[in-house]
Protein backbone atom coordinates (compact mmCIF):
# COMPACT_ATOMS: atom_id res chain seq x y z
CA UNK A 1 0.00 0.00 0.00
CA UNK A 2 2.84 2.38 0.90
CA UNK A 3 4.51 1.62 -2.39
CA UNK A 4 1.40 2.53 -4.34
CA UNK A 5 1.05 5.73 -2.31
CA UNK A 6 4.63 6.71 -3.17
CA UNK A 7 3.86 6.00 -6.80
CA UNK A 8 0.77 8.21 -6.68
CA UNK A 9 2.65 11.09 -5.06
CA UNK A 10 5.56 10.89 -7.50
CA UNK A 11 3.23 10.60 -10.49
CA UNK A 12 1.22 13.58 -9.27
CA UNK A 13 4.40 15.63 -8.92
CA UNK A 14 5.51 14.89 -12.46
CA UNK A 15 2.06 15.63 -13.82
CA UNK A 16 2.01 18.95 -11.96
CA UNK A 17 5.37 19.94 -13.44
CA UNK A 18 4.18 19.00 -16.91
CA UNK A 19 0.99 21.02 -16.48
CA UNK A 20 2.91 24.07 -15.25
CA UNK A 21 5.35 23.82 -18.16
CA UNK A 22 2.53 23.56 -20.68
CA UNK A 23 0.75 26.51 -19.11
CA UNK A 24 3.91 28.59 -19.39
CA UNK A 25 4.39 27.54 -23.01
CA UNK A 26 0.82 28.48 -23.84
CA UNK A 27 1.32 31.90 -22.34
CA UNK A 28 4.73 32.50 -23.91
CA UNK A 29 4.92 34.99 -26.77
CA UNK A 30 5.23 33.36 -30.16
CA UNK A 31 5.81 36.42 -32.33
CA UNK A 32 9.21 38.11 -32.39
CA UNK A 33 7.70 41.61 -32.49
CA UNK A 34 5.90 40.99 -29.19
CA UNK A 35 9.28 40.69 -27.49
CA UNK A 36 9.94 44.38 -28.04
CA UNK A 37 7.23 45.19 -25.50
CA UNK A 38 9.15 43.32 -22.80
CA UNK A 39 12.61 44.00 -21.37
CA UNK A 40 15.26 41.97 -23.18
CA UNK A 41 16.91 40.89 -19.90
CA UNK A 42 16.28 40.79 -16.19
CA UNK A 43 18.93 40.37 -13.52
CA UNK A 44 18.93 37.21 -11.47
CA UNK A 45 19.47 38.07 -7.77
CA UNK A 46 23.01 37.71 -6.43
CA UNK A 47 24.31 35.19 -9.00
CA UNK A 48 23.49 37.02 -12.21
CA UNK A 49 21.37 35.62 -15.01
CA UNK A 50 24.17 33.99 -17.00
CA UNK A 51 25.60 32.09 -14.04
CA UNK A 52 22.13 31.00 -12.93
CA UNK A 53 21.33 29.60 -16.38
CA UNK A 54 24.74 27.96 -16.57
CA UNK A 55 24.45 26.14 -13.24
CA UNK A 56 20.81 25.06 -13.64
CA UNK A 57 21.27 23.96 -17.26
CA UNK A 58 24.35 21.87 -16.44
CA UNK A 59 22.65 20.15 -13.50
CA UNK A 60 19.63 19.42 -15.69
CA UNK A 61 21.84 18.00 -18.45
CA UNK A 62 23.83 15.87 -16.00
CA UNK A 63 20.69 14.22 -14.65
CA UNK A 64 19.17 13.97 -18.13
CA UNK A 65 22.29 12.25 -19.46
CA UNK A 66 22.09 9.73 -16.65
CA UNK A 67 18.42 8.87 -17.10
CA UNK A 68 18.85 8.55 -20.86
CA UNK A 69 22.04 6.47 -20.81
CA UNK A 70 21.33 3.92 -18.09
CA UNK A 71 18.01 2.54 -19.45
CA UNK A 72 19.69 1.66 -22.74
CA UNK A 73 22.05 -0.91 -21.28
CA UNK A 74 19.60 -1.85 -18.51
CA UNK A 75 17.13 -3.09 -21.13
CA UNK A 76 19.90 -4.95 -22.96
CA UNK A 77 20.91 -6.64 -19.71
CA UNK A 78 17.30 -7.54 -18.98
CA UNK A 79 16.92 -9.09 -22.44
CA UNK A 80 20.08 -11.17 -21.87
CA UNK A 81 18.70 -12.44 -18.57
CA UNK A 82 15.29 -13.12 -20.10
CA UNK A 83 16.69 -15.13 -23.01
CA UNK A 84 19.15 -17.05 -20.82
CA UNK A 85 16.67 -17.47 -17.93
CA UNK A 86 19.27 -15.98 -15.59
CA UNK A 87 17.86 -14.09 -12.60
CA UNK A 88 21.19 -12.33 -11.97
CA UNK A 89 20.81 -10.16 -15.04
CA UNK A 90 17.22 -9.33 -14.19
CA UNK A 91 18.34 -8.20 -10.72
CA UNK A 92 21.16 -6.15 -12.24
CA UNK A 93 18.84 -4.41 -14.70
CA UNK A 94 16.43 -3.62 -11.85
CA UNK A 95 19.27 -2.13 -9.80
CA UNK A 96 20.22 0.15 -12.68
CA UNK A 97 16.64 1.25 -13.31
CA UNK A 98 16.20 1.96 -9.61
CA UNK A 99 18.89 4.62 -9.96
CA UNK A 100 17.17 6.09 -13.02
CA UNK A 101 13.84 6.19 -11.25
CA UNK A 102 15.35 8.10 -8.34
CA UNK A 103 17.03 10.62 -10.67
CA UNK A 104 13.98 11.11 -12.90
CA UNK A 105 12.25 13.60 -10.61
CA UNK A 106 15.46 15.62 -10.19
CA UNK A 107 15.75 15.89 -13.98
CA UNK A 108 12.18 17.18 -14.29
CA UNK A 109 12.65 19.67 -11.46
CA UNK A 110 15.80 21.20 -12.90
CA UNK A 111 14.23 21.23 -16.36
CA UNK A 112 11.20 23.16 -15.11
CA UNK A 113 13.47 25.55 -13.18
CA UNK A 114 15.56 26.15 -16.33
CA UNK A 115 12.41 26.95 -18.30
CA UNK A 116 11.29 29.49 -15.68
CA UNK A 117 14.71 31.18 -15.69
CA UNK A 118 14.70 31.51 -19.48
CA UNK A 119 11.20 32.98 -19.51
CA UNK A 120 11.80 35.32 -16.60
CA UNK A 121 15.35 36.53 -17.23
CA UNK A 122 15.89 36.11 -20.99
CA UNK A 123 12.42 36.92 -22.38
CA UNK A 124 13.60 38.27 -25.74
CA UNK A 125 15.80 35.26 -26.42
CA UNK A 126 13.07 32.86 -25.33
CA UNK A 127 10.51 34.64 -27.55
CA UNK A 128 12.90 34.38 -30.51
CA UNK A 129 13.42 30.64 -29.99
CA UNK A 130 9.71 30.09 -29.40
CA UNK A 131 8.84 31.85 -32.64
CA UNK A 132 10.92 29.24 -34.49
CA UNK A 133 10.54 26.08 -32.43
CA UNK A 134 7.08 26.36 -30.84
CA UNK A 135 5.90 23.32 -32.83
CA UNK A 136 8.61 21.18 -31.30
CA UNK A 137 7.56 22.26 -27.79
CA UNK A 138 4.31 20.33 -28.12
CA UNK A 139 6.08 17.26 -29.44
CA UNK A 140 8.60 17.50 -26.60
CA UNK A 141 5.84 17.74 -23.98
CA UNK A 142 4.00 14.73 -25.44
CA UNK A 143 7.20 12.68 -25.55
CA UNK A 144 8.01 13.68 -21.98
CA UNK A 145 4.56 12.56 -20.87
CA UNK A 146 4.99 9.29 -22.75
CA UNK A 147 8.41 8.62 -21.24
CA UNK A 148 7.19 9.45 -17.74
CA UNK A 149 4.22 7.11 -18.00
CA UNK A 150 6.33 4.34 -19.55
CA UNK A 151 9.23 4.54 -17.10
CA UNK A 152 6.91 4.46 -14.10
CA UNK A 153 5.02 1.47 -15.46
CA UNK A 154 8.30 -0.19 -16.36
CA UNK A 155 9.70 0.20 -12.85
CA UNK A 156 6.64 -0.55 -10.77
CA UNK A 157 5.48 -3.37 -13.06
CA UNK A 158 8.74 -5.28 -12.84
CA UNK A 159 7.39 -8.20 -10.80
CA UNK A 160 3.85 -8.00 -12.20
CA UNK A 161 5.10 -8.21 -15.81
CA UNK A 162 7.30 -11.25 -15.24
CA UNK A 163 7.08 -14.82 -16.44
CA UNK A 164 4.90 -15.17 -19.54
CA UNK A 165 4.34 -11.38 -19.58
CA UNK A 166 8.03 -10.57 -19.60
CA UNK A 167 7.90 -9.58 -23.28
CA UNK A 168 5.50 -6.78 -22.36
CA UNK A 169 7.97 -5.49 -19.79
CA UNK A 170 10.87 -5.60 -22.24
CA UNK A 171 8.73 -3.78 -24.81
CA UNK A 172 8.05 -1.02 -22.26
CA UNK A 173 11.79 -0.68 -21.68
CA UNK A 174 12.49 -0.36 -25.39
CA UNK A 175 9.65 2.16 -25.75
CA UNK A 176 11.03 4.25 -22.88
CA UNK A 177 14.39 4.38 -24.65
CA UNK A 178 12.75 5.48 -27.90
CA UNK A 179 10.93 8.27 -26.08
CA UNK A 180 14.13 9.35 -24.30
CA UNK A 181 16.19 9.39 -27.50
CA UNK A 182 13.51 11.43 -29.30
CA UNK A 183 13.48 13.94 -26.42
CA UNK A 184 17.27 14.22 -26.67
CA UNK A 185 17.12 14.86 -30.41
CA UNK A 186 14.54 17.63 -30.03
CA UNK A 187 16.51 19.37 -27.27
CA UNK A 188 19.65 19.07 -29.40
CA UNK A 189 17.86 20.92 -32.21
CA UNK A 190 17.41 23.95 -29.93
CA UNK A 191 21.00 23.73 -28.75
CA UNK A 192 22.65 23.29 -32.14
CA UNK A 193 20.51 25.97 -33.80
CA UNK A 194 22.19 28.47 -31.48
CA UNK A 195 25.59 27.38 -32.83
CA UNK A 196 24.78 26.74 -36.50
CA UNK A 197 21.46 28.45 -37.31
CA UNK A 198 19.63 27.35 -40.47
CA UNK A 199 16.24 27.73 -42.11
CA UNK A 200 15.78 31.42 -41.20
CA UNK A 201 15.85 34.70 -43.10
CA UNK A 202 18.28 37.54 -42.40
CA UNK A 203 15.70 39.07 -40.08
CA UNK A 204 15.62 35.89 -38.00
CA UNK A 205 12.16 34.81 -39.13
CA UNK A 206 11.55 31.19 -39.94
CA UNK A 207 11.51 30.33 -43.65
CA UNK A 208 9.19 27.47 -44.52
CA UNK A 209 9.17 24.35 -42.34
CA UNK A 210 10.70 24.14 -38.89
CA UNK A 211 12.58 21.05 -40.11
CA UNK A 212 15.16 23.26 -41.83
CA UNK A 213 16.00 24.83 -38.48
CA UNK A 214 16.09 21.44 -36.76
CA UNK A 215 18.30 19.78 -39.37
CA UNK A 216 21.15 22.28 -39.06
CA UNK A 217 24.83 21.57 -39.68
CA UNK A 218 25.74 20.36 -36.18
CA UNK A 219 22.44 18.67 -35.20
CA UNK A 220 23.20 15.09 -36.19
CA UNK A 221 26.86 15.17 -35.01
CA UNK A 222 25.77 16.42 -31.58
CA UNK A 223 22.98 13.82 -31.48
CA UNK A 224 25.49 11.01 -31.98
CA UNK A 225 28.09 12.58 -29.70
CA UNK A 226 25.70 13.16 -26.80
CA UNK A 227 24.00 9.79 -27.21
CA UNK A 228 27.33 7.99 -26.84
CA UNK A 229 28.43 10.34 -24.06
CA UNK A 230 25.21 9.68 -22.16
CA UNK A 231 25.90 5.94 -22.25
CA UNK A 232 29.43 6.52 -20.95
CA UNK A 233 28.13 8.83 -18.26
CA UNK A 234 25.38 6.44 -17.20
CA UNK A 235 27.87 3.59 -17.03
CA UNK A 236 30.33 5.53 -14.86
CA UNK A 237 27.63 6.68 -12.42
CA UNK A 238 26.15 3.16 -12.20
CA UNK A 239 29.65 1.76 -11.60
CA UNK A 240 30.25 4.41 -8.92
CA UNK A 241 26.99 3.35 -7.24
CA UNK A 242 28.21 -0.27 -7.26
CA UNK A 243 31.52 0.87 -5.78
CA UNK A 244 29.65 2.78 -3.09
CA UNK A 245 27.71 -0.37 -2.19
CA UNK A 246 30.80 -2.59 -2.45
CA UNK A 247 32.76 -0.47 0.02
CA UNK A 248 29.87 -0.57 2.48
CA UNK A 249 29.11 -4.27 2.05
CA UNK A 250 29.04 -6.47 5.17
CA UNK A 251 29.16 -9.93 3.57
CA UNK A 252 31.25 -11.64 0.89
CA UNK A 253 28.13 -12.38 -1.13
CA UNK A 254 27.13 -8.71 -1.17
CA UNK A 255 30.66 -7.67 -2.18
CA UNK A 256 30.62 -10.21 -5.01
CA UNK A 257 27.27 -8.95 -6.25
CA UNK A 258 28.35 -5.30 -6.38
CA UNK A 259 31.78 -6.15 -7.74
CA UNK A 260 30.01 -7.73 -10.69
CA UNK A 261 27.68 -4.75 -11.04
CA UNK A 262 30.63 -2.36 -11.05
CA UNK A 263 32.36 -4.40 -13.72
CA UNK A 264 29.30 -4.35 -15.97
CA UNK A 265 28.81 -0.60 -15.53
CA UNK A 266 32.47 0.06 -16.26
CA UNK A 267 32.39 -2.30 -19.25
CA UNK A 268 29.50 -0.36 -20.76
CA UNK A 269 31.28 2.94 -20.11
CA UNK A 270 34.55 1.75 -21.68
CA UNK A 271 32.78 0.26 -24.71
CA UNK A 272 31.07 3.58 -25.47
CA UNK A 273 34.08 5.69 -24.47
CA UNK A 274 36.29 3.97 -27.06
CA UNK A 275 34.16 5.34 -29.90
CA UNK A 276 33.28 8.69 -28.28
CA UNK A 277 36.33 10.59 -29.64
CA UNK A 278 35.30 9.66 -33.19
CA UNK A 279 31.94 11.37 -32.71
CA UNK A 280 33.85 14.36 -31.32
CA UNK A 281 35.96 14.51 -34.49
CA UNK A 282 32.81 14.61 -36.59
CA UNK A 283 31.31 17.41 -34.51
CA UNK A 284 34.52 19.44 -34.66
CA UNK A 285 34.76 19.02 -38.40
CA UNK A 286 31.18 20.21 -38.92
CA UNK A 287 31.83 23.29 -36.76
CA UNK A 288 34.85 24.12 -38.92
CA UNK A 289 32.82 23.55 -42.09
CA UNK A 290 29.99 25.80 -40.89
CA UNK A 291 32.19 28.68 -39.76
CA UNK A 292 35.99 28.58 -39.69
CA UNK A 293 36.07 31.50 -37.26
CA UNK A 294 34.27 29.39 -34.65
CA UNK A 295 36.60 26.49 -35.35
CA UNK A 296 39.70 28.64 -34.94
CA UNK A 297 38.29 30.16 -31.76
CA UNK A 298 37.67 26.68 -30.42
CA UNK A 299 41.02 25.08 -31.29
CA UNK A 300 43.48 27.90 -31.86
CA UNK A 301 42.08 30.96 -30.11
CA UNK A 302 41.59 31.84 -26.47
CA UNK A 303 40.05 28.39 -25.84
CA UNK A 304 43.10 26.45 -27.01
CA UNK A 305 44.30 25.89 -23.44
CA UNK A 306 40.92 24.42 -22.59
CA UNK A 307 41.94 21.35 -24.59
CA UNK A 308 44.97 20.89 -22.37
CA UNK A 309 42.57 20.58 -19.44
CA UNK A 310 40.47 18.18 -21.50
CA UNK A 311 43.61 16.16 -22.30
CA UNK A 312 44.34 15.75 -18.59
CA UNK A 313 40.81 14.51 -17.93
CA UNK A 314 40.87 12.11 -20.88
CA UNK A 315 44.22 10.81 -19.70
CA UNK A 316 42.69 10.06 -16.29
CA UNK A 317 39.79 8.25 -17.97
CA UNK A 318 42.02 6.12 -20.21
CA UNK A 319 44.59 5.23 -17.55
CA UNK A 320 41.92 4.73 -14.86
CA UNK A 321 39.82 2.44 -17.05
CA UNK A 322 42.82 0.32 -17.95
CA UNK A 323 44.03 0.22 -14.35
CA UNK A 324 40.63 -1.08 -13.24
CA UNK A 325 40.81 -3.87 -15.83
CA UNK A 326 44.36 -4.75 -14.77
CA UNK A 327 43.30 -4.91 -11.12
CA UNK A 328 40.31 -7.04 -12.12
CA UNK A 329 42.58 -9.56 -13.81
CA UNK A 330 44.06 -10.38 -10.40
CA UNK A 331 40.78 -12.09 -9.42
CA UNK A 332 40.79 -14.24 -12.57
CA UNK A 333 42.73 -17.56 -12.50
CA UNK A 334 44.84 -17.90 -15.63
CA UNK A 335 45.31 -14.17 -16.21
CA UNK A 336 48.96 -14.44 -15.16
CA UNK A 337 49.99 -15.18 -18.76
CA UNK A 338 48.79 -11.77 -19.89
CA UNK A 339 50.16 -9.59 -17.10
CA UNK A 340 53.52 -9.33 -18.84
CA UNK A 341 51.87 -7.05 -21.41
CA UNK A 342 50.71 -4.54 -18.81
CA UNK A 343 53.98 -2.51 -18.55
CA UNK A 344 54.10 -2.05 -22.33
CA UNK A 345 50.46 -0.95 -22.47
CA UNK A 346 51.12 1.47 -19.61
CA UNK A 347 54.04 2.99 -21.53
CA UNK A 348 51.84 3.56 -24.61
CA UNK A 349 49.13 5.15 -22.48
CA UNK A 350 51.60 7.35 -20.60
CA UNK A 351 53.38 8.55 -23.76
CA UNK A 352 50.04 9.10 -25.51
CA UNK A 353 48.80 11.10 -22.53
CA UNK A 354 51.90 13.30 -22.55
CA UNK A 355 51.55 13.99 -26.28
CA UNK A 356 47.83 14.69 -25.93
CA UNK A 357 48.50 17.14 -23.10
CA UNK A 358 51.35 19.03 -24.81
CA UNK A 359 50.31 22.59 -25.76
CA UNK A 360 51.27 24.18 -29.05
CA UNK A 361 52.10 27.57 -27.57
CA UNK A 362 53.72 27.86 -24.16
CA UNK A 363 53.27 30.55 -21.53
CA UNK A 364 56.84 31.78 -21.27
CA UNK A 365 58.84 34.87 -20.35
CA UNK A 366 60.48 37.08 -22.97
CA UNK A 367 63.89 35.58 -22.16
CA UNK A 368 62.57 32.03 -22.55
CA UNK A 369 60.94 32.90 -25.86
CA UNK A 370 64.20 34.32 -27.14
CA UNK A 371 66.09 31.22 -26.04
CA UNK A 372 63.60 28.98 -27.87
CA UNK A 373 63.42 31.21 -30.92
CA UNK A 374 59.69 31.81 -30.50
CA UNK A 375 56.69 30.68 -28.43
CA UNK A 376 56.90 27.17 -29.92
CA UNK A 377 59.39 24.79 -28.33
CA UNK A 378 61.74 23.45 -31.05
CA UNK A 379 61.10 19.83 -30.01
CA UNK A 380 57.92 19.69 -27.95
CA UNK A 381 56.17 22.09 -30.30
CA UNK A 382 55.72 19.37 -32.91
CA UNK A 383 53.50 17.48 -30.46
CA UNK A 384 51.16 20.44 -30.00
CA UNK A 385 49.35 20.08 -33.32
CA UNK A 386 46.38 17.84 -34.10
CA UNK A 387 48.40 15.35 -36.18
CA UNK A 388 50.27 14.29 -33.05
CA UNK A 389 47.20 14.41 -30.82
CA UNK A 390 44.98 12.38 -33.17
CA UNK A 391 47.75 9.79 -33.41
CA UNK A 392 48.15 9.63 -29.64
CA UNK A 393 44.47 9.26 -28.81
CA UNK A 394 43.92 6.59 -31.47
CA UNK A 395 46.82 4.54 -30.11
CA UNK A 396 45.40 4.96 -26.61
CA UNK A 397 42.04 3.67 -27.86
CA UNK A 398 43.71 0.63 -29.44
CA UNK A 399 45.59 -0.04 -26.19
CA UNK A 400 42.42 0.21 -24.11
CA UNK A 401 40.67 -2.19 -26.46
CA UNK A 402 43.61 -4.61 -26.13
CA UNK A 403 43.27 -4.47 -22.32
CA UNK A 404 39.62 -5.46 -22.63
CA UNK A 405 40.40 -8.32 -25.05
CA UNK A 406 43.02 -9.74 -22.68
CA UNK A 407 40.64 -9.37 -19.72
CA UNK A 408 37.86 -11.07 -21.66
CA UNK A 409 39.91 -14.16 -22.41
CA UNK A 410 41.91 -14.18 -19.14
CA UNK A 411 40.39 -17.42 -17.75
CA UNK A 412 39.50 -19.08 -21.02
CA UNK A 413 41.48 -21.27 -23.41
CA UNK A 414 40.09 -21.68 -26.89
CA UNK A 415 39.60 -25.26 -28.09
CA UNK A 416 39.07 -24.30 -31.73
CA UNK A 417 41.56 -25.93 -34.16
CA UNK A 418 42.11 -22.60 -35.93
CA UNK A 419 42.99 -20.68 -32.76
CA UNK A 420 46.59 -19.94 -33.80
CA UNK A 421 45.54 -18.57 -37.19
CA UNK A 422 42.78 -16.54 -35.57
CA UNK A 423 45.14 -14.95 -33.05
CA UNK A 424 47.66 -14.20 -35.79
CA UNK A 425 45.00 -12.31 -37.73
CA UNK A 426 43.98 -10.44 -34.58
CA UNK A 427 47.53 -9.33 -33.78
CA UNK A 428 47.98 -8.42 -37.43
CA UNK A 429 44.87 -6.22 -37.25
CA UNK A 430 46.30 -4.39 -34.22
CA UNK A 431 49.65 -3.78 -35.91
CA UNK A 432 48.15 -2.71 -39.25
CA UNK A 433 45.80 -0.27 -37.52
CA UNK A 434 48.67 1.15 -35.44
CA UNK A 435 50.82 1.50 -38.58
CA UNK A 436 48.05 3.37 -40.44
CA UNK A 437 47.53 5.70 -37.48
CA UNK A 438 51.26 6.44 -37.26
CA UNK A 439 51.65 6.89 -41.02
CA UNK A 440 48.91 9.48 -41.34
CA UNK A 441 50.03 11.13 -38.11
CA UNK A 442 53.53 11.73 -39.55
CA UNK A 443 52.28 12.49 -43.08
CA UNK A 444 50.01 15.17 -41.64
CA UNK A 445 53.04 17.39 -41.00
CA UNK A 446 53.74 17.65 -44.74
CA UNK A 447 50.32 18.70 -46.03
CA UNK A 448 47.97 21.67 -45.62
CA UNK A 449 45.72 21.88 -42.58
CA UNK A 450 42.52 21.20 -44.51
CA UNK A 451 44.05 17.97 -45.85
CA UNK A 452 45.42 17.08 -42.44
CA UNK A 453 41.93 17.24 -40.93
CA UNK A 454 40.77 14.62 -43.44
CA UNK A 455 43.53 12.23 -42.32
CA UNK A 456 41.76 11.79 -38.98
CA UNK A 457 38.99 9.96 -40.86
CA UNK A 458 41.46 7.35 -42.12
CA UNK A 459 42.89 6.90 -38.63
CA UNK A 460 39.41 6.46 -37.18
CA UNK A 461 38.41 3.94 -39.84
CA UNK A 462 41.59 1.94 -39.22
CA UNK A 463 40.93 1.71 -35.48
CA UNK A 464 37.24 0.89 -35.87
CA UNK A 465 38.06 -1.70 -38.54
CA UNK A 466 40.58 -3.38 -36.23
CA UNK A 467 38.09 -3.45 -33.35
CA UNK A 468 35.38 -4.96 -35.56
CA UNK A 469 37.71 -7.59 -37.05
CA UNK A 470 39.20 -8.63 -33.70
CA UNK A 471 35.80 -9.07 -32.06
CA UNK A 472 34.40 -10.89 -35.10
CA UNK A 473 37.14 -13.47 -34.63
CA UNK A 474 37.27 -13.44 -30.83
CA UNK A 475 33.62 -14.23 -30.12
CA UNK A 476 33.41 -17.52 -32.07
CA UNK A 477 37.01 -18.44 -31.17
CA UNK A 478 36.26 -18.46 -27.45
CA UNK A 479 32.73 -19.86 -27.65
CA UNK A 480 32.73 -23.08 -25.60
CA UNK A 481 36.28 -22.38 -24.39
CA UNK A 482 37.88 -24.37 -21.58
CA UNK A 483 37.92 -22.49 -18.29
CA UNK A 484 41.08 -22.11 -16.21
CA UNK A 485 39.02 -21.25 -13.13
CA UNK A 486 36.03 -19.29 -11.95
CA UNK A 487 36.24 -15.53 -11.45
CA UNK A 488 36.52 -14.75 -7.75
CA UNK A 489 33.99 -11.91 -7.63
CA UNK A 490 34.30 -9.70 -4.56
CA UNK A 491 38.02 -10.29 -4.06
CA UNK A 492 39.18 -7.33 -6.13
CA UNK A 493 41.34 -4.79 -4.30
CA UNK A 494 39.25 -2.05 -2.62
CA UNK A 495 41.30 0.64 -4.37
CA UNK A 496 39.63 -0.46 -7.62
CA UNK A 497 36.34 0.89 -6.31
CA UNK A 498 37.88 4.30 -5.73
CA UNK A 499 39.00 4.18 -9.36
CA UNK A 500 35.35 3.69 -10.41
CA UNK A 501 34.34 6.69 -8.30
CA UNK A 502 37.21 8.72 -9.79
CA UNK A 503 36.05 7.87 -13.31
CA UNK A 504 32.52 9.08 -12.51
CA UNK A 505 33.82 12.36 -11.05
CA UNK A 506 36.21 12.91 -13.97
CA UNK A 507 33.61 12.28 -16.67
CA UNK A 508 31.09 14.53 -14.93
CA UNK A 509 33.67 17.33 -14.87
CA UNK A 510 34.56 16.63 -18.51
CA UNK A 511 30.91 16.96 -19.55
CA UNK A 512 30.75 20.36 -17.90
CA UNK A 513 33.97 21.45 -19.61
CA UNK A 514 32.77 20.40 -23.06
CA UNK A 515 29.44 22.13 -22.46
CA UNK A 516 31.32 25.35 -21.70
CA UNK A 517 33.41 24.94 -24.89
CA UNK A 518 30.37 24.33 -27.07
CA UNK A 519 28.58 27.41 -25.71
CA UNK A 520 31.67 29.61 -25.42
CA UNK A 521 32.59 29.49 -29.11
CA UNK A 522 29.47 31.58 -29.82
CA UNK A 523 31.07 34.32 -27.69
CA UNK A 524 28.68 37.34 -27.60
CA UNK A 525 25.87 35.69 -29.58
CA UNK A 526 22.75 33.95 -28.30
CA UNK A 527 22.24 32.58 -31.82
CA UNK A 528 25.51 32.80 -33.72
CA UNK A 529 25.46 35.59 -36.28
CA UNK A 530 21.72 36.20 -35.81
CA UNK A 531 20.78 37.25 -32.28
CA UNK A 532 23.42 39.16 -30.34
CA UNK A 533 23.73 38.97 -26.56
CA UNK A 534 23.53 42.59 -25.38
CA UNK A 535 23.22 41.86 -21.67
CA UNK A 536 25.78 42.90 -19.07
CA UNK A 537 26.89 39.25 -18.97
CA UNK A 538 27.73 39.15 -22.70
CA UNK A 539 31.28 37.95 -22.22
CA UNK A 540 32.91 34.53 -22.41
CA UNK A 541 34.35 33.79 -18.95
CA UNK A 542 38.05 33.11 -18.44
CA UNK A 543 39.10 29.48 -18.11
CA UNK A 544 39.87 29.85 -14.41
CA UNK A 545 36.41 31.19 -13.67
CA UNK A 546 34.83 28.50 -15.85
CA UNK A 547 36.81 25.78 -14.08
CA UNK A 548 35.55 27.01 -10.71
CA UNK A 549 31.92 27.02 -11.88
CA UNK A 550 32.25 23.55 -13.43
CA UNK A 551 33.81 22.25 -10.22
CA UNK A 552 30.97 23.71 -8.16
CA UNK A 553 28.31 22.18 -10.44
CA UNK A 554 30.08 18.81 -10.39
CA UNK A 555 30.24 18.86 -6.58
CA UNK A 556 26.53 19.74 -6.29
CA UNK A 557 25.53 17.06 -8.78
CA UNK A 558 27.59 14.35 -7.09
CA UNK A 559 26.25 15.38 -3.69
CA UNK A 560 22.72 14.93 -5.02
CA UNK A 561 23.71 11.59 -6.55
CA UNK A 562 25.15 10.47 -3.19
CA UNK A 563 21.84 11.43 -1.59
CA UNK A 564 20.03 9.28 -4.15
CA UNK A 565 22.40 6.39 -3.38
CA UNK A 566 21.62 6.82 0.30
CA UNK A 567 17.89 6.79 -0.39
CA UNK A 568 18.35 3.55 -2.33
CA UNK A 569 19.96 1.99 0.73
CA UNK A 570 17.08 3.17 2.94
CA UNK A 571 14.56 1.59 0.56
CA UNK A 572 16.27 -1.78 0.92
CA UNK A 573 16.38 -1.47 4.70
CA UNK A 574 12.69 -0.70 4.59
CA UNK A 575 11.99 -3.95 2.79
CA UNK A 576 11.05 -2.49 -0.60
CA UNK A 577 14.06 -3.80 -2.50
CA UNK A 578 13.82 -6.13 -5.47
CA UNK A 579 14.45 -9.73 -4.45
CA UNK A 580 18.23 -10.36 -4.23
CA UNK A 581 19.85 -13.10 -6.26
CA UNK A 582 22.82 -15.35 -5.56
CA UNK A 583 26.18 -13.67 -6.08
CA UNK A 584 27.84 -14.25 -9.46
CA UNK A 585 30.69 -16.34 -8.09
CA UNK A 586 28.14 -18.72 -6.59
CA UNK A 587 25.45 -18.80 -9.23
CA UNK A 588 27.17 -18.67 -12.60
CA UNK A 589 30.09 -19.84 -14.64
CA UNK A 590 33.08 -17.74 -15.52
CA UNK A 591 32.24 -17.32 -19.17
CA UNK A 592 28.83 -15.79 -18.51
CA UNK A 593 30.29 -12.91 -16.54
CA UNK A 594 32.13 -11.66 -19.59
pLDDT at position 455, please? 79
Assign 527 to helix, strand or coil: strand
For the chain, which ranges sit under pLDDT 50?
1-5, 7-9, 11-12, 15-16, 19-20, 22-36, 576, 585-594
Backbone angles phi, psi at 455, to 5 degrees: -65, -30
pLDDT at position 309, please? 85
pLDDT at position 505, please? 93
Residue of 265, 257, 268, 271 lying closest to 588 (CA atoms): 257
Distance CA 91, CA 305 (A): 45
pLDDT at position 484, please? 86
Distance CA 176, CA 187 (A): 17
pLDDT at position 364, please? 64
Distance CA 82, CA 79 (A): 5
pLDDT at position 66, please? 86
CA 75 vs. chain centroid, Å, equals 18
Instruction: Please state, in angstroms and as integers, the Cα–Cα distance from residue 39 to each residue in 127, 134, 241, 396, 500, following that order.
Output: 11, 21, 45, 51, 48
pLDDT at position 183, please? 93
pLDDT at position 8, please? 43
Global pTM reads 0.83
Assign 204 to helix, strand or coil: coil
Helix axes 543-573, 87-121, angle to 10 degrees: 130
pLDDT at position 106, please? 85
pLDDT at position 83, please? 86
Amino acid sequence: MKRHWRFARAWAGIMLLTAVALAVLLGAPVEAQDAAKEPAYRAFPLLGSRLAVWVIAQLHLDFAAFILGVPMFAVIIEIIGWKNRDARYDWLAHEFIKLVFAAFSATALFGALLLFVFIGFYPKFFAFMTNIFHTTYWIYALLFFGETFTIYLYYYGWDWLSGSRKWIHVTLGVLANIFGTAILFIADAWLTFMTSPAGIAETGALKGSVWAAVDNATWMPINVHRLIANIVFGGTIAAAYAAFRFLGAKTDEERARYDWMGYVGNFVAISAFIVLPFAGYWLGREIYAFDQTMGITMMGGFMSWLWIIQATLIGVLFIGSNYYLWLGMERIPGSERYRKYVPYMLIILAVGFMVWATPRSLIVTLEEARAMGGTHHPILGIFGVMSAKNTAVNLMILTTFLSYVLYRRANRLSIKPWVMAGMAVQWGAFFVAAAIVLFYGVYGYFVESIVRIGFSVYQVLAVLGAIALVMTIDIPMFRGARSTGEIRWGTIAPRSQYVLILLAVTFTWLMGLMGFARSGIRQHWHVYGVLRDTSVDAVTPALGYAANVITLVTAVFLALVMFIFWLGGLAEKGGTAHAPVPAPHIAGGSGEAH
